[in-house]
Chains A and B, each alone.
Chain A
Amino acid sequence: MGGIEESERPLKRVKVPSGGSDSLSANLSLTEPREPASGFSLRDSMAWSPSSQGDKDAIGSKGIIKRPEFIKIITRALYSLGYSKSGDQLQKESGIPLHSTVVDLFRQQVVEGKWDESVDTLHRIGLSDEYIVKSASFMILEQKFLELLKKEKIKDALSTLRNEIVPLSINVSRVHELAAYIIFPSSSAVGGPSSQDAAGSKSQSAILEKLQKLFPAAIMIPEKRLEQLVEQALDVQRDACAYHNTFDSELSLYSDHHCGTNHIPSQTLQVLQAHCDEVWFLQFSHNGKYLASSSKDRSAIIWEVKDDGEVSLKHKLTGHQREVSIVSWSPDDQQLLTCGVEESIRRWDVNSGECLHIYEKAGVGLISCGWFPGGKGVFSGMTDKSICLWDLDGRELESWKGQRTLKISDIAITDDGKRIMTMCRENAILLLDREAKCEKLIKENQMITSFSLSKDNKYLLVNLFNQEIHLWRLGGDPDVVSRYRGHKRTRFLIRSCFGGLEQAFIASGSEDSKVYVWHRDTPEPLFALPGHSGAVNCVSWSPTNPHMLASGSDDYTIRIWGLDQVKLKNRDNQKNGINHHSKGKT
């Protein structure tokens, strides 16, 4: 705790006229003795009197901040930060003491361990709530008791307990415990003699902190009150920010925080041309350092994302004899799975680009793939409607048969490996619980084309045949919480994904060559980003950089989208005035 308060010194107060107005009694200078008779000291009443003069003591544009309160919490903050000289100076200059004299005295006595005197002073502070007085006395006397015990003055300790603590008649169970310490002085709760004595002053200030929490804030200004108020203001700003997409570390005190739509990626930063045919799927690695894309040209590419955001080709993975429909990153991002349409699954090493294993099943084509949580196994959906789980070497571990669709089948597994989600018939997604061996169905009234699972495994984003995207909340009874429209889909498999800070945004490809971005709470798109010259098949939002979005298209290219720097600069230049945000979310 910074700055254990003022040491003993006479406090000469000179009242400085506030606001420079002469109407105030300008030359009110007073010096007075330190020990006033009762409750609030004379000084305190003098300090409060200007408030009766009206708005001189309300500061701020709305006139609701009381001047003495404001100065007191600033003084407190100065002490907490360790600037006790500044704290003293502020009290002098403003004429507003942090605490009344009695309270100062009380604090001092507690710090010095003068328990009896402090209990007396406590009664003179004039607290209206009896309970507080009693609790505070209890704490102080408890400390006195423990000290006496340590010094082995058992009789004194006992008398303290009997004559001073018990009459308070509160916290009886603790009284019993204290009584027990007399009989068992080595009880660990008392603490070894070395630890207590060595940290002598530390324990005094610990008492002071505990006492502080008991007192009403007006008597003893709580520590860190100013910091608390500032944090509250930041919270309000953050909550009011409708399209919040920046890290907390970027919040500034200098101006109100307001993302607007400027913090959502909306400008093409890079166009990656390396595929020789349509790009069908792409996904960022979990650590955001790599991007993997797969294409109709039967290859997959691993791209590296540098720290400055530049994306460059790392490896081209060839070997599949069919188009590569999907890629999947291992949980540790060291390996990648690729799936050839109705063909096989290949496992690759990310660093070397080598193919480590090929998973196939005789007579059956593989149509989807994913990693088992922990990276210990690989699972895949097949053309014979079953799902198979292999270990890394290709040994079959488990297999589920049943109703699955044939041709295009998305599959997902929760992070704990307990639930598998797969397409089942045209309108439904099957939630298979591996442990409970039970199945739940998410039914739509439309054909489902694809789906993706959110990072927290609580939501499922389902793409429908009729150009709607539905957000399902999983849980006991899955239900639809949001619907999004705007993009185009008539013939192709178009994918969507979650993204942005805390996955508050949805992005989707579209057959009209644009990338669509929604905020989770609004059904209308925020952006329809032009740029591609062919249908956008897939999108992926970087999990670590909320300002980076990637899209893959029939025009053989991948686009990396980022913040519109020009718009950002313009906004910052406008922000120099004080913004009063009176309304909340739009």
Chain B
Amino acid sequence: MGRLFVVSLEGKIYSCKHCRTHLALSEDIVSKSFHCRHGKAYLFNKVVNVSVGVHEERMMMTGMHTVADIFCVGCGSIVGWRYETAHEKLQKYKEGKSVLERFKVSGPDGSNYWITPEAHVGGSDADDA
């Protein structure tokens, strides 16, 4: 596996549920109203210790976007996605930002999130309200 290169964060940290690698800070949350297959997801300004997958065009709830899945460097599990480009002007604010699925991360207080039956089955994405 090699010697993992990981960055350590300070503050209120969201970390990978499986291997506890630091992923993002609470202060970098842009919006908490995002959705994914597994329920809630948060949009973050900056996410660390992730490797980026292949870019692909995906139809999200708010339109066509170019996104790439992001994976935790510690254990390789998928933790969310990153917006590379948004095709509609209104969605441009998302470019460069990343979404972490709430189900995949442990919150700053160590809390976890479990999939509820009311989880949004329709799709991923959401607007900023």
B4 proximity list for chain A (CB < 8 A): 491-493
Nearest CB on B from A40, distance (A): 78
**Known pairs A491-B4, A511-B2, A537-B3. 17 more at Cβ < 8 A?**
A278-B1, A280-B2, A296-B3, A405-B8, A407-B8, A408-B6, A490-B73, A491-B2, A491-B73, A492-B2, A493-B2, A493-B4, A493-B5, A534-B2, A535-B2, A554-B1, A554-B2
Instruction: Give the distance in Å from the alpha carbon of A397 to the alpha carbon of B73 in the complex.
Output: 38
Contact between chains at B51 and A278 (CB < 8 Å): no
User: Taking CB as reference atom, which chain B residue is nearest A277?
Assistant: B1
Given that A490-B51, A491-B73 are contacting pairs, would A426 and B3 also be in contact in the complex, using a CB cutoff of 8 Å? Answer: no
Instruction: Give the distance in Å from the alpha carbon of A280 to the alpha carbon of B6 in the complex.
Output: 15
B129 proximity list for chain A (CB < 8 A): none
A426 proximity list for chain B (CB < 8 A): 7
User: Taking CB as reference atom, which chain A residue is nearest B9?
Assistant: A406
B51 proximity list for chain A (CB < 8 A): 490-491
Interface of A is mostly: loop
Interface size in chain B (residues, C-beta < 8 A):
10
B1 proximity list for chain A (CB < 8 A): 278, 492, 554
User: Taking CB as reference atom, which chain B residue is nearest A495?
Assistant: B3
Given that A490-B51, A491-B51 are contacting pairs, would A325 and B6 also be in contact in the complex, using a CB cutoff of 8 Å? Answer: no
Instruction: Give the distance in Å from the alpha carbon of A554 to the alpha carbon of B4 in the complex.
Output: 12
A490 proximity list for chain B (CB < 8 A): 51, 73
Contacts A/B (CB < 8 Å), 12 sampled: A278-B3, A280-B2, A280-B3, A323-B3, A406-B8, A407-B6, A408-B6, A491-B51, A493-B5, A535-B2, A537-B2, A554-B2
Q: Is A447 an interface residue (CB 8 A)?
A: yes
Q: Which of A296, A405, A491, A537 has the most CB of B within 10 A?
A: A491
Interface residues of B in 93-120 (CB under 8 A from A): none
Instruction: Give the distance in Å from the alpha carbon of A449 to the alpha carbon of B2 in the complex.
Output: 14
User: Taking CB as reference atom, which chain A residue is nearest B10?
Assistant: A406
From B2, B5, B7, A278 is in contact (CB under 8 Å) with B2
From A405, A447, A493, B3 is in contact (CB under 8 Å) with A493
Interface residues of A in 475-505 (CB under 8 A from B): 490-494
A493 proximity list for chain B (CB < 8 A): 2-5
Chain A 403-433: CB-based contact to B (< 8 A → 1; otherwise 0):
0011110000000000000000010000000
Q: Which of B3, B4, B5 has the most CB of A within 10 A?
A: B3
B73 proximity list for chain A (CB < 8 A): 490-491
Nearest CB on A from B9, distance (A): 9
Instruction: Give the distance in Å from the alpha carbon of A493 to the alpha carbon of B7 in the complex.
Output: 11
Q: Which of B1, B2, B4, B5 has the most CB of A within 10 A?
A: B2
Chain A 392-409: CB-based contact to B (< 8 A → 1; otherwise 0):
000000000000011110
Nearest CB on B from A119, distance (A): 80
Chain A 433-472: CB-based contact to B (< 8 A → 1; otherwise 0):
0000000000000010100000000000000010000000
Nearest CB on A from B48, distance (A): 8
Instruction: Give the distance in Å from the alpha carbon of A4 to the alpha carbon of B7 in the complex.
Output: 76
User: Taking CB as reference atom, which chain A residue is nearest B76?
Assistant: A491
Nearest CB on A from B92, distance (A): 23
Chain A 524-546: CB-based contact to B (< 8 A → 1; otherwise 0):
00000000001101000000000
A323 proximity list for chain B (CB < 8 A): 3
Chain B 1-29: CB-based contact to A (< 8 A → 1; otherwise 0):
11111111000000000000000000000
Contact between chains at B8 and A492 (CB < 8 Å): no
Contact between chains at A447 and B2 (CB < 8 Å): no
